[in-house]
Amino acid sequence: MMKTSSSQNWEGYRKLSQRFQLSVSAVRNIVRKWKTTGTVQVKARSGRPRKILNKQKRRMLRTVRVNPQTSTKDLQHDLAADGVTVHRSTIQRTLHNEMLYGRVMQRKPFLRPHHKQSRLSTIHLSAAYAYCRRFLLYNIRRIRPVLSQEATQLLVHSLVNLRLDYCNSLLAGLPLQVIRPLELVQNAAARLIFNLHKFTQVTPLLCSLHWLPDAACIRFKTLMLTYKAENGPAPSYLMAMVSALALVQAVSELMKDGKIYSSLLLAGSQLTPTAVMSLKKHQTLLGAAKQKEEAMSKTNADLDEERDSLLKHLTKCECFY
């Protein structure tokens, strides 16, 4: 170790640095420390010792590198299991010193009702339009010169029409401008089958192919499903959910006349089990309504009697005084 007494022999800092192979600033600091404290040894520093030991730090870093989605709260619980209680900021500072930075997920803005409606009405249609128009029809058009009309029709029906018809009954009731992209795909497919120009009138082509426009096809599928649910070929859960509008109107008219069940018993052979259940339900509701009306009329009559008796009593009292 360097002897600090050498500074008393009027040796300069530069000579000492060359002699002991140290920088001039290091020599100056050593001499200043010896003059101030009387020693050059490093004393114990004051302050709180580190809470996270090296072994715990290595294990924490290993956990974060294996699973980057680990949160500081999970690391805090792991350290608490070892008896080390630290704040989350301490864990973050330790990770930042090792160049490990977390990422906070961006919070999406709240969707307003018109945003939800626009997404629900266009996301399915735009995806189907893009896939059918830009991929399927484009690839079929490239091999159209080597295909016959029958082969092209079979190919278009198996690849394009089946995707246009998939779950399209869910689009019932939407505006026509929303269903317009699907109709454009259908028109392009019809022109592709006959290998005609894009400005060709498409209505005769659809008639020759026996294709319905998408809006009419959606309406036809909904009506057919309703007809099957009313007349039996549909599944039982659909038959139980569908009720005839004409039957409800007839029941409402008979409710006004007061003859609900006796008149419909004459046509009982023509009613389905669902219709009979609906009639019984309406009859029960009508009976409850009549009982409530009678109770209200009785209550009103009792109130009128009490009012009359009270008026008579007051009249007598006035005559007495």
Q: Across all residues in the chain, what is the average pLDDT? A: 75
Residue 120 contacts residue 170 (beta carbons within 8 Å): no
Statement: residue 1 has pLDDT above 70: no
Q: At what angle do helices 88-97 and 72-81 cross, to 10 degrees?
A: 110
Q: What is the largest CA-CA distance in the chain?
A: 138
Cβ contacts of residue 55 below 8 Å, gap of 6+? none
* pLDDT value of residue 305: 72
> Given pLDDT bands bounded at 50, 70 and 90, which one contains residue 154?
very high
Neighbours of 267 (CB within 10 A): 10
Here the tokens at position 178 are 């929303």
Q: What's the pLDDT score for residue 149?
A: 92
Query: How many residues appear in the chain?
Result: 321
* Res 105: pLDDT: 52
Q: Which of 150-154, 257-261, 286-290 has the highest mean pLDDT?
A: 150-154
* pTM for the structure as a whole: 0.41
- Give the 3-state secondary structure of 19-66: HHCCCHHHHHHHHHHHHHHCCCCCCCCCCCCCCCCHHHHHHHHHHHHH
* CB-based contact 29:2 (threshold 8 Å): no
More confident site: 271 or 152: 152
CB neighbours of residue 121 within 10 Å: 16
86 backbone φψ class: left, alpha, beta (φ>0; ψ -120 to 50): beta
Whether the pLDDT of residue 321 is over 60: the answer is no
Q: Which of 56-65, 200-209, 224-233 has the lowest mean pLDDT?
A: 224-233
Task: State the sign of the Cα–Cα–Cα–Cα dihedral 91, 94, 96, 99.
Answer: negative
DSSP 59-92: HHHHHHHH-TT--HHHHHHHHHHTT----HHHHH
Helices marked H in the chain:
13-20, 24-37, 54-66, 72-81, 88-97, 113-131, 137-142, 149-156, 162-165, 176-194, 203-209, 214-231, 236-241, 245-257, 262-265, 273-320
> Please, which residues have CB within 8 angstroms of residue 82's CB and are 6 or more apart in sequence?
56
Residues 72 and 88 sit within 8 Å (Cβ to Cβ): yes
For 204, the 3-state DSSP assignment is helix
Per-residue confidence (pLDDT) for residue 148, from 0 to 100: 92
Cβ atoms within 10 Å of 287's Cβ, excluding its own:
12
B/e letters for 222-241, b = 16+ CB within 10 Å, e = fewer, are beeeeeebbeeebeeeebee
Query: Tell me, what's the pLDDT at 46?
Result: 66
Higher pLDDT pick, 114 / 311: 114
Residue 288: pLDDT above 50?
yes
Mean pLDDT of 89-108: 77
CB 206 within 8 A of CB 185: no
310 pLDDT above the threshold of 80: no
Of 90-94, 228-232, 241-245, 259-263, the one with minimum mean pLDDT is 259-263
- Mean pLDDT confidence for 252-259: 50
Band the pLDDT of 285: cuts 50, 70, 90: low
How much is the average pLDDT of 197-211? 91
Q: Is the pLDDT of residue 2 over 60?
A: no
Over range 311-321, report the average pLDDT: 50
